[in-house]
Amino acid sequence: MSKSQRQRTQVSGKTDVGHGLLPQLLPWLLPLLILLAWELGARTGKLSSHILPEPLAVVKAAWQLIQSGEMWADVKVSAWRAVTGLLVGGSLGLVLGLATGLFKRVDAVLDSTIQMLRNIPVLATIPLVILWFGIDESAKLFLVALGVFFPIYINTYHGIRSVDRGLIEMARSYGLSGWPLYRHVILPGALPSMLVGLRFGLGLMWVTLIVAETISAQAGIGYMTMNAREFLQTDIVLVGILLYALLGKLADLLAKWLERVLLRWHPAYQTGAAS
């Protein structure tokens, strides 16, 4: 690559990744090197398999779990818990956030109470939740729903409160009021903030689910990893951790895609670049 070419790539930056393979491969170089060093360390015996199994063993374990159908069964259970918790907590957060954001009276009655409650870490309530629900499904769903509720509530509320007053005034002077005003002005104006809430909620969804499943479960990814820990199967534990990472990334991608579709009008998304 000549000097002038290199300069051009630098100037054009992220928008011009199509030219040349090197800029595309560069970010993968370090992970590959780490993986290689890890494999070497495990093979020469410098790295005990109780601490970290060799990468190939992890791949093999994953393959076995897929073939036996165990992985699919566990992922299905975990995903079901995550989605149900998200739907329950998310819709409650959305409805209450809309109510307090739109109506002064609801705001006066509810908001300060919710703001107080949200300072309690969700995970700190686990002993109480176990006392209430025991260790069955409802305890896990409750925890996930609680974790998702607050970020979605807060960002919905804040989104509605921060809709540009000038736009509301303009819309009213053009004869909009009631539902059309909500539909055309207030709700779309609150949408960016609501989507931020969804992304926060998705992150917390996985965190609370992992903790809940690790404490007590008869199925799910958490159960799989805790079971493997009993038998010192570090490779399966690693598979579980990687699965959580993968599912978390998937949820984040989904949220980003949703943002890109719903916020097409936003200058930040017009070139297709996510913020």
Partner 1 sequence: MSRVAWSSSFSPIAGLDIESEMRLNSGLAGAFDLSHGDADTRQPLARVHSLPTLAEAAVRLRGVGKAFGTRQVLSDFELEIERGSFVAMVGRSGCGKSTLLRLIAGLERPSQGSVETLGADLAGRKVGAAGTRIMFQDARLLPWKSVLQNVMLGLPRRDPVSGDSARDRALAVLAEVGLADRAADWPAQLSGGQRQRVALARALVHRPQVLLLDEPLGALDALTRIEMHELIERLWREHGFTALLVTHDVHEAVALGDRIVLIDGGRIALDQPVALERPRVRGAAAFAALEAYVLDRVLHTLPGVAHEPWAADTQEAEIALERVRWAL
Name the site residues for partner 1 (rule: CB under 8 A): 102-105, 107, 111, 115, 154-155, 157-163, 165-178, 180-181, 184-186, 188-189, 191-193, 196-197, 199-200, 263-267, 270, 275
Among 122, 57, 131, CA closest to 85: 122
Q: How far is the CB of 179 from partner 1 (least distance, A)?
A: 11
Q: How far is the CB of 94 from partner 1 (least distance, A)?
A: 15
Q: How far is the CB of 157 from partner 1 (least distance, A)?
A: 6
Compare residues 88 and 167 and give the one whose CB is closer to partner 1.
167
Asked if residue 208 lies in contact with residue 122, where contact means CB atoms within 8 angstroms, the answer is yes
Q: How far is the CB of 86 from partner 1 (least distance, A)?
A: 18
Q: How far is the CB of 159 from partner 1 (least distance, A)?
A: 8
Q: How far is the CB of 188 from partner 1 (least distance, A)?
A: 4
Q: How far is the CB of 30 from partner 1 (least distance, A)?
A: 27
Compare residues 185 and 247 and give the one whose CB is closer to partner 1.
185
Compare residues 126 and 167 and give the one whose CB is closer to partner 1.
167
Q: Which amino acid is at 73?
A: A
Q: How far is the CB of 174 from partner 1 (least distance, A)?
A: 4
Among 264, 215, 216, 224, CA closest to 243: 224
Compare residues 2 and 275 and give the one whose CB is closer to partner 1.
275
Compare residues 18 and 175 and give the one whose CB is closer to partner 1.
175
Please write down the long-range contacts of 191-196, taking CB distance under 8 Å and 24 or more positions apart.
191/159, 191/262, 191/263, 192/159, 192/259, 192/263, 192/266, 193/155, 193/156, 193/158, 193/159, 193/162, 194/94, 194/97, 194/152, 194/155, 194/156, 194/159, 195/255, 195/258, 195/259, 195/262, 195/263, 196/155
d(CA 252, CA 254): 5
Compare residues 53 and 201 and give the one whose CB is closer to partner 1.
201
If you count them, how many residues does the chain have?
A: 275
Compare residues 142 and 150 and give the one whose CB is closer to partner 1.
150
Asked if residue 144 lies in contact with residue 212, where contact means CB atoms within 8 angstroms, the answer is yes
* Token duo for residue 176: 């909009």
Question: Nearest 10 degrees: CA dihedral of 124, 153, 245, 221?
Answer: 60
Compare residues 174 and 257 and give the one whose CB is closer to partner 1.
174
Asked if residue 197 lies in contact with residue 190, where contact means CB atoms within 8 angstroms, the answer is no
DSSP 65-98: HHHHTHHHHHHHHHHHHHHHHHHHHHHHHHHHHH
